[in-house]
Chains A and B, each alone.
Chain A
Amino acid sequence: MKYLVSIGLETHVQLKTRTKMFCGCLLSTDCPPNTNVCPVCMGLPGALPLMNKEAIRKTVMSGLMLGCSINKYSRFDRKNYFYPDMVKNYQISQNTDPLCIGGGVDIGKGENIRRVRINHIHLEEDAAKINHYDRHSGIDYNRCGTPLMEIVSEPDMHSSSDAMEYLTALRQILVYAGVSDCNLEDGNMRSDVNVSVRPETSDRLGTKVEIKNMNTFKGICAALEFEIDRQTAILKSGGSVVQETRRWDGECGETFSMRTKENAHDYRYFPEPDLLPVMLDDGTIEQWRSELPELPGKKRERFKTQYSLPEYDAGVLCAQLPVAAFFEQTVQRGAAPKSVSNWIMTDLLRLLGQTGRDISDIPLTPDSFASLLKLVDSKSINTPTAKELFEELFEKGGEPEAIVKERGLGQVSDTGAIEEFAARVVAENPKVAADYVGGKAPALQYLVGQVMKLSRGKANPQMAAEIIKRKIAGE
Chain B
Amino acid sequence: MRSDEISGMTVAAAADAMRAGKFSSEELVRAVFDAIDERDGLIGAYLTVDRDGALKEAKTADARRRAGESGDLLGIPVAMKDIFNVKNQPCTCASKILKGYIAPYDATVTAKLRTAGAVPAGRVNMDEFAMGTSTEHSAFKITHNPAALDRVPGGSSGGSAAAVAGGMALASLGTDTGGSIRQPASFCGCVGLKPSYGRVSRYGVTAFASSLDQVGPITKTVEDAAIILGAIAGADSRDQTVLDKPVPNYRAELRGASLKGLRIGVPDEYFVDGTDPEVMSLVRGAIDKCENAGAQVSRISLPHTRYAIAVYYICATAEASANLARFDGIRYGARCADAGSSLQSLYDRTRTEGFGKEVKRRIILGTYVLSSGYYDAYYSRALKARTLIRRDFEKAFSECDVIMAPVAPTPAYKLNSTVNDPLKSYLGDVFTVPANLAGICGISIPCGRTAADGLPVGLQILGPAFGETVLLRAAKACETEFGL
Q: Are B328 and A46 in contact (CB under 8 A)?
A: no
Which B residues are in CB contact (< 8 Å) with A39? 104-105
Q: Are A42 and B331 in contact (CB under 8 A)?
A: yes
Closest to B212 in A: A273
Interface residues of A in 233-288 (CB under 8 A from B): 266, 268-270, 273-276
Most interface-central of A82, A89, A268, A275 (chain B CB within 10 A):
A268
Most interface-central of A48, A80, A139 (chain B CB within 10 A):
A48
A108 in the interface (beta carbon within 8 A): no
Identify which of B105, B238, B328, B332 contacts A82 (C-beta below 8 A).
B328
Which A residues are in CB contact (< 8 Å) with B211? 273
Q: Are A44 and B105 in contact (CB under 8 A)?
A: yes
Q: Are B204 and A46 in contact (CB under 8 A)?
A: yes
Interface of A is mostly: loop
Interface residues of A in 28-59 (CB under 8 A from B): 39, 42-51
Which A residues are in CB contact (< 8 Å) with B347? 82
Identify which of A46, A51, A84, A88 contacts B107 (C-beta below 8 A).
A46
Q: Are B322 and A46 in contact (CB under 8 A)?
A: no
Interface residues of A in 47-97 (CB under 8 A from B): 47-51, 78, 80, 82, 84, 87-90
Q: Are B325 and A90 in contact (CB under 8 A)?
A: yes
Closest to B346 in A: A84
Which B residues are in CB contact (< 8 Å) with A43? 326, 331
Q: Are B207 and A88 in contact (CB under 8 A)?
A: no
Interface residues of A in 76-125 (CB under 8 A from B): 78, 80, 82, 84, 87-90
Which B residues are in CB contact (< 8 Å) with A78? 322
Most interface-central of A50, A88, A270 (chain B CB within 10 A):
A270
In the assembled complex, the Cα of A275 lies from the Cα of B242 at a distance in Å of 10
Of the candidate stretches B275-283, B302-310, B365-373, B450-458, the one touching chain A is: B365-373
B20 in the interface (beta carbon within 8 A): no
Closest to B324 in A: A89
Identify which of A45, A139, A268 contacts B206 (C-beta below 8 A).
A45
In the assembled complex, the Cα of A41 lies from the Cα of B209 at a distance in Å of 20
Interface of B is mostly: loop
Most interface-central of B85, B326, B370 (chain A CB within 10 A):
B326
Q: Are A276 and B207 in contact (CB under 8 A)?
A: no
Number of chain B residues close to chain A: CB under 8 A: 43
In the assembled complex, the Cα of A88 lies from the Cα of B323 at a distance in Å of 8
Task: Quote the shortest CB–CB distance from A161 to chain B (angstroms).
Answer: 36
Closest to A88 in B: B326
Which A residues are in CB contact (< 8 Å) with B325? 80, 82, 88-90
Which A residues are in CB contact (< 8 Å) with B343? 84
Q: Are B240 and A50 in contact (CB under 8 A)?
A: yes
Q: Are A270 and B85 in contact (CB under 8 A)?
A: no
Which B residues are in CB contact (< 8 Å) with A87? 326, 331
Identify which of A80, A84, A266 contacts B330 (C-beta below 8 A).
A84
Which B residues are in CB contact (< 8 Å) with A44? 85, 104-105, 332
In the assembled complex, the Cα of A45 lies from the Cα of B208 at a distance in Å of 10
Interface residues of B in 306-321 (CB under 8 A from A): 318-319, 321
Which B residues are in CB contact (< 8 Å) with A46? 84-85, 91, 103, 107, 202-207
Q: Are A274 and B85 in contact (CB under 8 A)?
A: no
Q: Are B210 and A273 in contact (CB under 8 A)?
A: yes
Interface residues of A in 117-169 (CB under 8 A from B): 139
Which B residues are in CB contact (< 8 Å) with A49? 240
In the assembled complex, the Cα of A275 lies from the Cα of B238 at a distance in Å of 11
Write the B326-340 contact mask toward A (1 if CB under 8 angstroms, else 0). 111011100000000
Interface residues of B in 65-111 (CB under 8 A from A): 84-85, 91, 93, 98, 101, 103-105, 107
Q: Are A270 and B379 in contact (CB under 8 A)?
A: yes
Which A residues are in CB contact (< 8 Å) with B205? 46
In the assembled complex, the Cα of A42 lies from the Cα of B211 at a distance in Å of 21
B237 in the interface (beta carbon within 8 A): yes
Q: Given A45-B93, A46-B203, A88-B326, check contact A268 B105 (CB 8 Å).
A: no
Task: Quote the shortest CB–CB distance from A145 to chain B (angstroms).
Answer: 14
Task: Quote the shortest CB–CB distance from B333 to chain A (angstroms).
Answer: 8
B239 in the interface (beta carbon within 8 A): yes
Closest to A83 in B: B343
Which A residues are in CB contact (< 8 Å) with B209? 273
In the assembled complex, the Cα of A45 lies from the Cα of B101 at a distance in Å of 10
Q: Are A270 and B105 in contact (CB under 8 A)?
A: no
Q: Are B371 and A268 in contact (CB under 8 A)?
A: yes
Which B residues are in CB contact (< 8 Å) with A89? 322, 325-326, 328
Q: Are B371 and A45 in contact (CB under 8 A)?
A: no
B241 in the interface (beta carbon within 8 A): yes
Q: Are A268 and B367 in contact (CB under 8 A)?
A: yes
Which A residues are in CB contact (< 8 Å) with B372? 266, 268
In the assembled complex, the Cα of A88 lies from the Cα of B326 at a distance in Å of 4
Which A residues are in CB contact (< 8 Å) with B84? 46
Q: Given A88-B325, A89-B326, check contact A50 B238 (CB 8 Å).
A: yes
In the assembled complex, the Cα of A82 lies from the Cα of B351 at a distance in Å of 12
Which B residues are in CB contact (< 8 Å) with A45? 85, 91, 93, 98, 101, 103, 206-207, 326-327
Q: Are A48 and B370 in contact (CB under 8 A)?
A: no
In the assembled complex, the Cα of A88 lies from the Cα of B85 at a distance in Å of 17
Which A residues are in CB contact (< 8 Å) with B203? 46-48
* 6 A-B contacts (beta carbon < 8 Å): A44-B105, A46-B85, A46-B107, A48-B202, A268-B370, A276-B241
Taking Cβ atoms with an 8 Å cutoff, the residues of B that contact A are: 84-85, 91, 93, 98, 101, 103-105, 107, 202-207, 209-211, 237-241, 318-319, 321-322, 325-328, 330-332, 343, 347, 367, 370-372, 375, 379
Q: Which 8 A-B pairs have the closest CB atoms?
A: A89-B325, A268-B370, A273-B210, A273-B211, A45-B206, A46-B204, A88-B326, A43-B326
Known A44-B105, A88-B325, A268-B367; 11 more pairs at CB < 8 Å? A43-B331, A44-B332, A45-B98, A46-B207, A51-B240, A87-B326, A268-B321, A268-B375, A270-B375, A270-B379, A274-B210
